[in-house]
Amino acid sequence: MLPIDRSHLYDGGELAGLECVGQKVLIPGPAGDLEGLTACPEKETRGAVAVLLHPHPLYGGTLHNKVVHYLSRTFNLLGIPSLRFNFRGVGESAGSYDDGRGETEDCLAVLNWVQERRPGFDIWLAGFSFGAYVAYRAVHRHPHITRLLTVAPPVNLFDFQHLSPPRCPWTLIQGEQDELVPAANVKQWLAALPVNPTTLLLPADHFFHGQLNTLQIALLQSLADDVAKMRYTGTSPCAQSRFS
């Protein structure tokens, strides 16, 4: 477990007055309903949906975490609707913390829910910290994930070594001044993998304090070419983002 008071690690990491909010949703999960929040692009929509996973539930991580919020905004700027949700036991989501195992099942249930409502759409899966661990676990178990994004994957805190790297395109973002997940640990882990992701090293700590715009710009630049090649759905952004 993290060597920090569990109740305060991600305190202050939420943002009020969220932009581009679509609607609150309740998604059937293996331990009960999961609370989710959609966000819609202001302009055109591409043929993909991004599902975003928040940091550690026992340390204050929720769908309103500021890094997760910025990821949502970034995908919206690329014309891609997003869905954030609370893992079991967080906010209005039923259940209790399950050390990544149950949270992976939560993620798979949400991915299936999105697939049912957006048949034929690509699914991009992104996670921050603990959410990156869950995303890395889930990517092998769902056939419609076409891109993985891991931000500050906690390779020193959870067992990544027994998980194979994804077969889909993968982007990894890591703060070089990360005090919880040292960049050296992440680099060592990557060096042992048979394939490497597109890696973006930023001058940031674990929480990206003062570097959220840097995170957003780096991700926009990294994904812009791939997004430009994606098909345009030709439908209303609001219609695509309601997940109804």
- Please write the tens of the pLDDT for every residue from 89-140: 999 999 999 999 999 999 999 999 999 998 889 999 999 999 999 999 999 9
113 vs 46, residue with greater confidence: 113
SS3 content of the chain, % helix, strand, coil (to 5): 30, 25, 45
Domains and CATH numbers, the chain: 21-241 (3.40.50.1820)
**Quick check: 106 and 114 in contact, CB under 8 A?**
no
Distance CA 104, CA 112 (A): 12
Tokens (6 digits) for 32: 């009960």
* Per-residue confidence (pLDDT) for residue 7, from 0 to 100: 43
Whole-angstrom CA distances from 94 to 25, 88, 209 are: 14, 5, 31
Q: What is the pTM of this model?
A: 0.88
Distance CA 131, CA 123 (A): 16
**Quick check: 243 and 117 in contact, CB under 8 A?**
yes
Distance CA 163, CA 154 (A): 13
Asked if pLDDT for residue 19 goes beyond 70, the answer is no
Asked if pLDDT for residue 44 goes beyond 50, the answer is yes
* Per-residue confidence (pLDDT) for residue 227, from 0 to 100: 87
23: pLDDT confidence band, cut at 50, 70 and 90? Answer: confident
First to last CA, the chain: 38
* Per-residue confidence (pLDDT) for residue 190, from 0 to 100: 97
* Mean pLDDT across 45-50: 84
DSSP H or E run through 137: helix 130-138
**Quick check: 86 and 34 in contact, CB under 8 A?**
yes
230 vs 169, residue with greater confidence: 169
